[in-house]
Amino acid sequence: MKDHNLISNMLEKSRFNRRLHSVSMLINDLFHQVGTILKEISDSTEYLLYSFSVSKLTESNKETM
Q: Mean pLDDT across the chain, nearest whole number?
A: 79
Domain that holds residue 24: 13-64
Burial 27-64 (b: 16+ CB within 10 A, else e): eeeeeeeeeeeeeeeeeeeeeeeeeeeeeeeeeeeeee
pLDDT at 34: 93
pLDDT at 47: 72
4 in a structural domain: no
2 in a structural domain: no
Number of domains in the chain: 1
pLDDT one-digit tens code per residue, 18-42 = 888 889 889 999 999 998 998 888 8
Q: Which residue has the higher pLDDT, 58 or 65?
A: 58
Q: Which residue has the higher pLDDT, 47 or 2?
A: 47
Count of CB atoms situated within 10 Å of the CB of 3: 5
7 in a structural domain: no
5 in a structural domain: no
48 in a structural domain: yes
